[in-house]
Structure 1
Amino acid sequence: MAIEPVVGLSENQLEEILQALDPSMPYPEWINVGMALHHETEAEGFHLWDEWSSQADNYPGSEELLHHWTSFGNNKGAPVTARLLLKLAKESGVHVDPDIASASEFECIKEEDDSADARFAVVDAENFADCSPTPWLIKGVLPKADLGVVFGESGSGKSFFVSDMALSLARGKSWRGHKVRPSRVVYLAAEGSSGFRKRLKAYELHHTISLAGVPFGVIPVAPNFLMKVDALDVAKAIIAWGGADLVVIDTFAQVTPGANENAGEDVGKALAHFRGLNRALGAMVLLVHHSGKDTSKGARGWSGLRAAADMELEVIRTESGRATRVTKQKDGDDHGEFGFELEVVPLGLDEDADIITSCVVVEAGVPADLNGSVKTNSARETSGKWTSVVTSVVREFGLAQSAGIEVEAVIAECLARTEVPAGKRDTRKQHIRRALKALCTGDDAPYFEENGCLEIL
């Protein structure tokens, strides 16, 4: 059975909650309060339960309480946690947030010694002004800053572009003629780790190198950066690996499951944990993110994300090619543009003797229509709800990263994203198959279907 983590309440917060609760409450509830305190304090908070209980008329004494206390934690069932305490406090009109310091915690500062956290040491203006300019990971493109964002539509090639930069850094090789600072890189492949494995192999083959010994590490699972325990565990894992200068998180959506990307509360919580990674590791955190529905308005979601970023790159796919442009550079030129294309690399054969492929980034000229009115992939898309849904799913499955995408998997995902109109027959599969057929029909079709899979032309 998985160990239930503690909520993270301070002793002052626990005392605040207990003050709002009646110690003469019914016996079962009183026992549950004790069990919750036992779990949250990891058996170190007996004094809290005892002092609170002593205010009740039916207080049985410390010895009786200690007998109960020592039995807590031996139950094989799910433990009672501090979430119960938060619920009871809320019912009593007291709201305690484990991530918000209480007033008493601030008041206690005056009574503590003069030692302070070195992270927040106050620096005299004269010394602060006498500092070196911001160092670069990739000169003029990727600063050695706190937080960066690379965004683009699905299918634009943003993940390929970012991994190409990151691998150049890890190899200590110049990128597009720009000097690089040899760096340790951790790539959190939260979206499509199997495709990322193929991408690394394609990179090796294309550049005729081996990645053995290259300080480039991969985390192939998706943590939840809305949860404190996951954020801390990621930091610990990277430190155990030897640390990093750059941490790439691909993608932002995959590590913030269920978050409202338009809400500052949810995004702000994730940003706080990204900042925590930066403080713990001294590494820049680079987020790979999606464009919004209106691509002219930048990255998807809360505008505060862009404000928090030290730099921002937009990856664009037009009719004539792909490019990345600098849209924000806090300490540098924000007008850079870099054209590129994706070149297919055969990796071998699968068990059915079909060719397995992936792609690598190759340098190309900046598309002539980059700053024009052409919208990414617009010529390949027709209007209509089903075409939009199907096209979006096919893109997100990362077609360019593998030998093909199973048609049935696409259909299943499209069904999961749509609903049957009330009172009407379910004809969704017919609409989906029709839209899939349109993507594979005609001289200008971007895909073809073979053996139940979509393949890119």
Structure 2
Amino acid sequence: MTTQSNTDAIRFLTALDPEATAWTFQTFDDSDRKDSNLARILHGSLVEHAAELERLNSAGAGVFVTINKTNLIGRRAENITRVRACFADFDVADPSTPDRLRAFALPPSLIVESSPRKYHAYWLVSDLALNQFKDLQKQIIYAWSTDDKVHDLPRVMRLPGFFHRKGEPFQTSIVEVSERLYTAAELLAGFPVIAETPLTTPQAPHVCQPDVYAQAALERAVGAVSCAAEGTRNDELNRQAFGLFGFVKAGRLRESGVRDALHRAGALVGLVDTEVTATLRSAWEAAPPRYEGIPVTRSLVIYSDSEAESPATEPPPPRFTLLNRDALRRLPDMDWRIDHVLPRTGIGLIIGQSGAGKSFAAIDLLARVSLGQNWFGHDTRPCKAVYCALEGRAGIKRRIEAWERHYGHEMPDNFAVVLDSLKLTEGDDVHELAHAILEAGGEGGLIVIDTLAQAGPGIDENSSADMGLLIEALQRLQGLTDGMVLAVHHMGKDTSRGARGHSSLYAACDAVLAVSASPQTISTDNANGGKSKDAEPVTHGFDLESVTLHITDDGQEIAGAVLVERNSTPKASLPKEPKGGNVKIVWDKLGAMLREAGDIRPSDAPDALPVGRPTVRLDAVIEQIGPQLPVDAKRQTERTNSAITSLINSGHITHMSGWIWCK
């Protein structure tokens, strides 16, 4: 096991039961193919099974552990001997979940991030009887509107330290551990018994002003339905409607608005109106009111036409929450996509006059984020990077190829380009774009729309009302994808006033990168038209360099351009000789292969291969060098790939289109 996976797994198991020496582990295929060869039940210690669990995880299996104590014979209800903890699966992505849990009267003993912004919460308990577990679990589900299937005694949950393998691999990790041990009496009092649901269909409640938490849930629900895979859409609609109608019954959302939004989302994915209506009716009848996310619990109040305006029950709490100093200190720190330049979530702009290099700046920024590379000296957190190229489509291929040629890196699968037309304020384009991005694993990613003018045809940029529509569309796309949305936009004639159009656009932005042609700089300083809300402003110089892509048969040079950090040394001298381990072995053996290959250019070698430079195929390197590494035969390919990746990242070799050569 890696150091991180070993540490997190041990911390989790130790917190769960410090006296346990053996556990019941379970693995399943995380993908839709459900390969039975990846399914295992393993009884014993983590040390005993670590290698097998890591191997299965690398092959695509999720790694789980039975939370409650077993007799180490099986994983059925009859094999459970003691309740260790109650738990909840927050299966809707929401970065505010840990803060809401911390603020709860009974904060969890453990919080785990199981996949991006989805969490598992555990309440360790000392004396809960086996026959009390299921009812208490249902009370927790009711209180927090979490996954309603998580209430069986032998339930397994993801083991921190291992990778969640659905879609883009994500390492499940511990958010925090308090190890507080509750008594059964405390938990039963903190999660009261669920009241019986009336058999009659409740009428629509009086609705107070919607709150931010419920409104955000509505946005996420519409996105989830819009992005549901075929065969799961009606189930997804039912699940999301069940949760949203809970907010309606608690007076936190308007019923008409929820129904309209869900009808539109259902129609978008091909559900017929009668089917949607029937699903919503069923969800409405089953949904209990939801009060999480507000500081004081309030009772369900349902008014009929004959009832008075004022309820006889407890009045709703104030909509606004006043935070004291301690609450403020518990708020999370700024989460950066590019340190001190670009936050992980929000909306922003890349602005500049025509010809300043805005699109080159956008491509360079997206490339570095997708690869997790340093940007002008600032660390980045890698994510899906999507470039919506609405202008100059014919030149996009050349610009990207120029970047790859200059820096010696292919754009990864994390980088994607959209060439389809996009109208932010018309039809369902925002939801359909979000659908495509989420389907490709782009939740929490970085999206650049180039340009804002092309995405808002017919919009009067100087009109506050029209600009409000564009801002709302950008915010909606951001909310659906839970990432950062940047729009490339022009500066006005008066560059001191920043972005062209109504001032509300600049005001709504969380960051603005201003690109200048003379001098060639990119800046977040408001003196240059930029914006930095939560960090000191920065200004960096750059150059646009020409890159020869190829020579045509008639001798014409085809070139592209690339943004290069001023005074940077992208073609620096070769780093020091690799030392030790598999990297050294692969480096030495690769040198021998390249010398043997000579300088004869293979017919299918990439155009980027310098003239006279020996090259070999990546698969040949793995096939020939892998068996020479001092590792288990099952790990040879993985270790060879790891060593090659290290040599690429250290600048020793270049990889492109399946070929490798020395820089």
Q: TM-score normalised to the size of structure 2? A: 0.37
**Residue 281 of structure 1 is aligned with which of 461, 468, 481?**
481
Residue in 1 that maps onto 2:542: 340
Tell me the equivalent position of 1:217: 416
For residues 409 and 547 of structure 2, the distance between their equivalents in structure 1, rounded to whole angstroms, comes to: 14
Using the alignment, how far apart are the partners of 1:117 and 1:221 within structure 2?
40
Change (3 A) 1:333 1:357: same
Instruction: Give the conservation status (yes or no) of the 8 Å contact 2:383–2:442.
Output: no
- Separation in 2, partners of 1:243, 1:232: 14
Q: 1:11 to 1:332 in 2, by over 3 A?
A: closer
Q: Secondary structure at the match of 2:560?
A: strand
Corresponding residue number in structure 2 for 1:325: 523
Matched, 1:234 2:437: no
- Residue in 2 that maps onto 1:360: 562
C-alpha spacing 1:351/1:193, structure 2 compared with 1 (3 Å): farther
Rounded Cα–Cα distance in structure 2 between residues aligned with 1:168 and 1:242: 18
Instruction: Confirm or deny: 8 A CA contact 2:386 2:415 kept in the other structure.
Output: yes
Partner of 2:357: 157
User: How far is the alpha carbon of 1:355 from its aligned partner?
Assistant: 2.0
CA gap of 1:118–1:345, structure 2 versus 1, over 3 A, is farther
SS of residue in 2 equivalent to 1:316: strand
Residue 114 of structure 1 pairs with residue 313 of structure 2: no
**Quick check: 2:422–2:429 contact (8 Å CA) kept in 1?**
yes
Deviation at 1:165, TM superposition (A): 1.5
- Which residue in 2 is equivalent to 1:194? 394
Is structure 2 residue 358 aligned with structure 1 residue 183?
no
Which string of whole-angstrom CA distances, capped at 9 and with x for unpartnered residues, describes residues 416-455 of structure 1?
A: xxxxxxxxxxxxxxxxxxxxxxxxxxxxxxxxxxxxxxxx
- CA shift for structure 1 position 356: 1.7
- Identity percentage over the alignment? 34
Report if aligned partners of 1:316, 1:322 keep a CA contact under 8 Å in 2: yes
Measure the CA separation in 2 of the matches of 1:353 and 1:288. Answer: 36
**Structure 2 SS opposite 1:197:** helix
Tell whether the 8 Å contact from 1:171 to 1:214 is kept in structure 2 after alignment: no
1:344–1:357: 8 Å Cα contact kept in structure 2? yes
Structure 2 residue aligned with 1:302: 502
1:277 and 1:12 map into 2 onto residues whose CA distance is 22
* 3-state SS, counterpart of residue 272 of structure 1: helix
Amino acid at match of 1:322: Q
Deviation at 1:239, TM superposition (A): 0.8
- One-letter amino acid of the structure 2 residue matched with residue 179 of structure 1: D
- The residue matched to 2:521 in structure 1 has which SS? strand
Q: Secondary structure at the match of 2:363?
A: helix
Q: Distance in 1 between matches of 2:456 and 2:294?
A: 27
Distance 2:354 2:495 in 1: 11
Q: Count residues in correspondence.
A: 266
Tell me how far apart the structure 2 counterparts of residues 271 and 350 of structure 1 sit (CA, whole Å). 45
What is the distance in 2 between the residues matched to 1:116 and 1:365?
A: 56
CA contact (8 A) 1:191 1:222 kept: no
Change (3 A) 1:337 1:238: same
Cα shift at 1:157: 0.5
Question: Comparing both chains, which one has the higher relative contact order based on Cα–Cα distances under 8 Å and sequence gaps of 6 or more?
Answer: 1
Secondary structure, aligned partner of 1:235: helix
The one-letter amino acid paired with 1:329 is S
Counterpart amino acid of residue 420 in structure 2: V
CA contact (8 A) 2:386 2:447 kept: yes
Deviations 1:78-105 (A, max 9, x none): xxxxxxxxxxxxxxxxxxxxxxxxxxxx
Residues 1:259 and 2:459 are matched in the alignment: yes
Aligned-residue offset at 1:222:
2.4
Quote the residue 2:260 is aligned against: none
Corresponding residue for residue 208 of structure 1: 408
- Structure 2 gaps of 5+ residues are 1-253, 258-270, 278-283, 296-318, 525-529, 569-663
Name the residue aligned to 1:32: none
Contact in 2 for aligned 1:152/1:158 (Cα 8 Å): yes
Q: Tell me if the contact between 2:335 and 2:343 (Cα under 8 Å) persists in the aligned partners.
A: yes
The letter of the residue matching 1:332 is A
Alignment map for 1:394-413 (pairs within 5 Å):
none
Secondary structure at 1:270 match in 2: helix
* Maintained 8 Å contact 2:351/2:514: yes
SS in 1 for 2:545: strand
Distance in 2 of aligned mates of 1:155 and 1:115: 53
Cα separation, 1, equivalents of 2:554 and 2:456: 37
| Deviation (angstroms), 1:353 | 4.7
* 1:171-203 CA distance string (max 9 Å, x none): 111112211111211111111122121111001
The answer to whether the 8 Å contact 2:340/2:534 transfers is: no
Closer, same or farther: CA 188–12 of 1 in aligned 2, 3 Å: same
**What whole-Å deviation, never above 9, does each CA across 1:296-339 have from its counterpart, x for those lacking one?**
21110010000000111211111xx41111121111112x1111
Distance verdict in 2 for CA 1:292–1:350, change over 3 Å: farther
Match of 1:187, SS?
strand
- TM-score, scaled relative to structure 1: 0.53
Tell me, in whole angstroms, the C-alpha distance in 1 between the residues paired with 2:292 and 2:354. 42
Q: Which residue of 1 aligns with 2:176?
A: none
Residue 264 of structure 1 and its aligned partner are, at CA, apart by 1.9
Residue 340 to residue 187, structure 1, CA distance change in 2 (3 Å): same
List per-residue Cα deviations over 1:379-433 (Å, max 9, x = no partner).
xxxxxxxxxxxxxxxxxxxxxxxxxxxxxxxxxxxxxxxxxxxxxxxxxxxxxxx
8 Å CA contact retained: 1:338, 1:365: no
2: CA distance between counterparts of 1:229 and 1:198?
31
Match of 1:243 in 2: 442
Q: Name the CA distance, whole Å, in 2 between partners of 1:261 and 1:116.
A: 40
Residue 406 of structure 2 contacts residue 562 of structure 2 at CA under 8 Å; is this kept in 1?
Answer: yes
Q: CA deviation at 1:221?
A: 2.1
SS of the residue corresponding to residue 428 of structure 2 reads helix
Kindly indicate whether the alpha-carbon contact (under 8 Å) linking 1:259 and 1:267 is maintained by their aligned counterparts in 2: yes
